[in-house]
Chain A
Amino acid sequence: STLTPFAEVEDTLKRIQGINGVIGTIVVNAEGIPIKTTLDNSTTVQYAGLLHQLTMKARSTVRDIDPQNDLTFLRIRSKKHEIMVSTDKEYLLIVIQNPAE
C-alpha cells in the first residue's frame, strides 16, 4: 500500500476502534506501559496492569502443558462485556467490546 508503516498501524487501530460495539483499545508493551490507548489514563493503567499479569499467567500455563506451544489470544467474557487480548512476545493489544445482544 502507499501508506507508511506508521500510518498503516494508525489506520488499523482506528479500524478496530470503529468496529461495532468496541468500547476501547489499548496497546501495552512488555513492561506494562500503555503505548496507545483510547481510554482515560486511570482506566488504561488499571487494564494494562491487570491484564498484563493475567496474560503472563495464561502464557505460562499454556507453556507448562506443552513447552512448544505459546499463547496467542485470550478472551474473557464477563456479564457486561468481552475483553480480548491478542498477544505477542513483546506487545499486547487489548480490546474491550460489548458483544452483540
Chain B
Amino acid sequence: MEIVYVYTKKRSEFGRQCNFSDRPAELHVDILPDTSLAANFTVRDPCNVTVQCAEEMSEHEVNTERFESESRGVNHVEGGWPKDLNPEDMEATIRYRKKVEKDEHYQNTIMQIAGLMEHCCKQNNATDIYQEFFEDEDEEVMEESEEQPSAKTINVFRDPNEVKRTATSLSWHPDGNHKLAVAYSSVEFQRAPNDTSFDSYIWDIENPNKPEMTLKPVSPLVCLEYNPKDSHILVGGSYNGQIAYWDTRKGSQPVEMSTIEHSHRDPVYKVIWLQSKTGTDIFSASTDGQVLWWDIRKMSEPTERLVLDPSKKGNLDSALGAVSLEFETTMPTKFMVGTEQGLVVSCNRKAKTPAEKIVCTYSGHHGPIYALQRNPLFPKNFLTVADWTARIWSEDIKESSIMWTKYHMAHLLDGCWSPVRPSVFFTVKMDGTLDVWDILFKQNDPTLSLKVCDEALYSIRVQDNGRFLGCGSQLGTTTLMEISAGLCTLQKNEKALVSEMFERETKREKILEARHREMRLKERSRSEQSREDEGKEADGEESAAELVARAEREFFDIMEAEKKKEEKERDTVKDVLLLE
C-alpha cells in the first residue's frame, strides 16, 4: 500500500523562491508545576554517585567463518649442483665430489668439526642422558592420587551432508586407533527424505573438518567393522540387507557385495569378523531372523545359514529378529545373538544339526537388545543393554540376570565394557547422556554421567586402550572423548574383587531360583489339592480383565509417586535458589 499525497501547482509557479512571513510567537502548551507530585519523592542525603575517570571501552565478539586448511607437502629433489652439471651423470658428480675433497679448506674444516663430533658420539655411548630414574616408584605414586572421575570431549565430527543421518555404528582402526570408521543411516522406517546421502565416512581423529575417506555403498550402512587382522579391509552391513566389503587402498566403491537374493531381507544390524586362518570370514545378523556366515572372497552366497527359531524347527516365520551379535575370539565355537524380542540366544557353531545350534536362551529384557558383549576378563559374564536398563548375566543362570541397573528415564541404546577394567562399562541413552558405571565403586548409579548432546546417542565404541571412546548421535555427530586415568587403569585387586562379586551374585540368583521353584511347586500342589477338595470353584483366580485393571492401577500409582518425588525435589532446589 503506497501512501500518496497529491497536490497541484500551476506551471508558472514552479521554481519560485519560498515566501517566508513573520508570525508572532504562539503558545501551544503550558504545563504548570504540580506540587502534589512532590509527595512521590523524598530527599536523599547523602547521595552516592559513582564516577569513573577511565576510558570507555566496549567489548565485541566476532566469530569468523570456519577456516578450512589443508596439509600439503613438498618433495625434495636433489639440487644445489652447479648449473653446468647434470645430477644424473654419475661420473660428473663423482668428479665434482673428488674435487671438493682435495680442497685444503675442506680438509681443515672437516678435521675440526669431526673432532667435536667424535667427542659427542663417545659421550652418547658413555651415558644415556634420557634414562628413566625411579621407574618402579612411579606406579605407587599413581595409585595414591584420588582424582574425580571425569571425561572431556576431544573432538567432534559432524555429518558433512545437509540432511543429517544417525551415526549407527563406529569402528576403530585396529593399528594405532588414529582412524574411526562411522556408518551413517536413517534408522526410522521410511522417514528419510529422498535425497539423503548413502555415504559413510572414515575420519582421521586429528582432522574433524573433513572425513579422510568416503565409503559409497548402494544402500546406507547400518554397521561397519574394520578387519582386526588387515587394517585396510572393512565390511559393512547395509539397510537393504546386503553385505559389502571395502579395501581402503582401492577407493570408495565396495570391492564386492553380496547378491541380493542370498542376502538378508531386513537391515543388517551387526556384522563381526571371525577368527580364521584366512582372516576373511564374517557373520552377520538381521531382524529377518537369520544369522549368515560369509567368506568375503566369495560374496555370491553365504557359507552357512542359521534361522533363529526358538522352537528349533528352522521356521523363518516364527524366527526371532536379531539386533546384536556377540563373538569372542577366545571362544570361537560359541556365539550369542541379541533379539528384537528381548531374548538372548546362545548358540554353538560346531553343532551338527541346525536344531542343536541353538543351545539356550536368556530372558529378562522388555525390548530389543541393542548391545551384547562378554566381559573381556570374565567371559562367563556378559552385558546386555536394552529397554531402560543394562543387565549383567552369568552364562549359567538362564532365568534372570545377576545384576541390573535401575530403570532409567530414557531408553538405553548402546553399551560396552571397558577393555582394560573388568568393573567398568559404558552406556548411552536416548536423552544424549553417556554413563560410565564402575560396579566396584557404586552400583545404584553411574559413577560418571555426562550429557554429550541434546539428541539421542545411538552408538558407542571404546578404543583398545580404554582411554578414548567415540559416541555417535542421531544427527550424525560423533564425539571423541577422553576419560580420566582413574577409570582406565586397572586398580590393584580389581580382578579378584570383580570375580568375587560376580560369583556372589550368581550364587544369589541360583538360591533365589531354587526358592522360586520350591514355592511354585508348593503352589501347584496346594492348588491341585484345593481343586480336588472344593470341586469346580474359581477360588481366588482373577479374570484376565481384572488382572489388567489391577496392573494399570499399580502402574499409575508408581508413576504418581515418582512424579510427586520429582516435584518435591524440584521445589527444594527452588527454595535453595531463592535463599541465595
User: Interface code B82-99, partner A: CB below 8 Å = 1, 0 otherwise?
Assistant: 000000000000001100
- Give chain B residues whose Cβ lies under 8 Å from the Cβ of A97: 121, 124
Give the CA-CA distance A31 to B111 in the complex, in Å: 20
Closest to A91 in B: B109
Give the CA-CA distance A20 to B125 in the complex, in Å: 7
A19 pairs with B107, CB closer than 8 A: no
A8 pairs with B107, CB closer than 8 A: yes
Closest to A101 in B: B128
User: Which chain A residues (67-101) contact chain B, with CB distance < 8 Å?
Assistant: 72-73, 75, 77, 82, 84, 86-88, 90-91, 93, 95, 97, 99-101
Contacts A73-B120, A99-B128, A100-B124 known; A90 to B105 CB distance under 8 Å?
yes
A16 pairs with B101, CB closer than 8 A: no
Closest to A19 in B: B121
How many residues on chain A are close to B (CB under 8 Å)? 40
User: Which chain B residues (396-420) contact chain A, with CB distance < 8 Å?
Assistant: none
User: Interface code A31-74, partner B: CB below 8 Å = 1, 0 otherwise?
Assistant: 11101100000000110011000000000000000000000110
Binds A, one of B73-81, B235-243, B347-355: B73-81
Contacts A45-B78, A91-B113 known; A9 to B105 CB distance under 8 Å?
no
Closest to B82 in A: A31
Least CB distance, B173 to chain A, in whole angstroms: 21
- Give chain A residues whose Cβ lies under 8 Å from the Cβ of B128: 99-101
Closest to B102 in A: A6
Give the CA-CA distance A8 to B270 in the complex, in Å: 71
B118 pairs with A16, CB closer than 8 A: yes
A72 pairs with B116, CB closer than 8 A: yes
Closest to B113 in A: A86
B114 pairs with A35, CB closer than 8 A: no
Contacts A9-B111, A16-B114 known; A84 to B80 CB distance under 8 Å?
no
A15 pairs with B118, CB closer than 8 A: yes
Least CB distance, A31 to chain B, in whole angstroms: 4
B113 pairs with A88, CB closer than 8 A: yes
Give the CA-CA distance A49 to B79 in the complex, in Å: 9
Given pairs A35-B106, A50-B76, A93-B117, 11 additional interface contacts (CB within 8 A): A5-B107, A6-B101, A12-B115, A35-B97, A35-B101, A36-B97, A49-B79, A84-B121, A87-B113, A91-B109, A93-B110
